[in-house]
Amino acid sequence: MGMSTHIVGVRNLDGNFKRMIAVKLACEAAGVDYPQELKDYFLYPQESEDTLREEMEEVDIKAVVAERTEDSSNIWEVHLASLSPEVKSIRFTNSY
């Protein structure tokens, strides 16, 4: 049985996400179309807030993760200086 490791960034959903959700809810309450900026931010803005929160929580950080093998060890290095400012934490998931 093998093991795999998946590394993602966790987005700060209090910043831009929170503002975009407020715009989405205001548009829906007013019965007006979403502005283009909102459509560009959310892939599917018509989804529920909970669904959008779940979809937007993780950030792909593969470009800043280096993996190597040494002496029967797998090593992952995350280059923190290269992370987007919206990433508040890093999540490592090991699957067996």
Q: Is the confidence at residue 2, as pLDDT, over 90?
A: no
Q: What is the pTM of this model?
A: 0.70
Q: Is the confidence at residue 76, as pLDDT, over 70?
A: yes
Read off the pLDDT of residues 11-35 as tens digits, 9 standing for 90 and up. 989 888 999 999 999 999 999 999 9
Q: Give residue 1's pLDDT.
A: 66
Nearest to 38 by CA among 53, 48, 51, 27: 27
Q: From the CB of residue 68, how many other CB atoms can be counted at a distance below 10 Å? A: 9
Classified as helix, coil or strand, 70 is strand
Read off the pLDDT of residues 27-75 as tens digits, 9 standing for 90 and up. 999 999 999 999 999 989 999 999 999 999 999 999 999 999 998 888 9
Residue 96 and residue 9 in contact, taking contact as beta carbons nearer than 8 Å: no
Residue with tokens 């993780």: 58
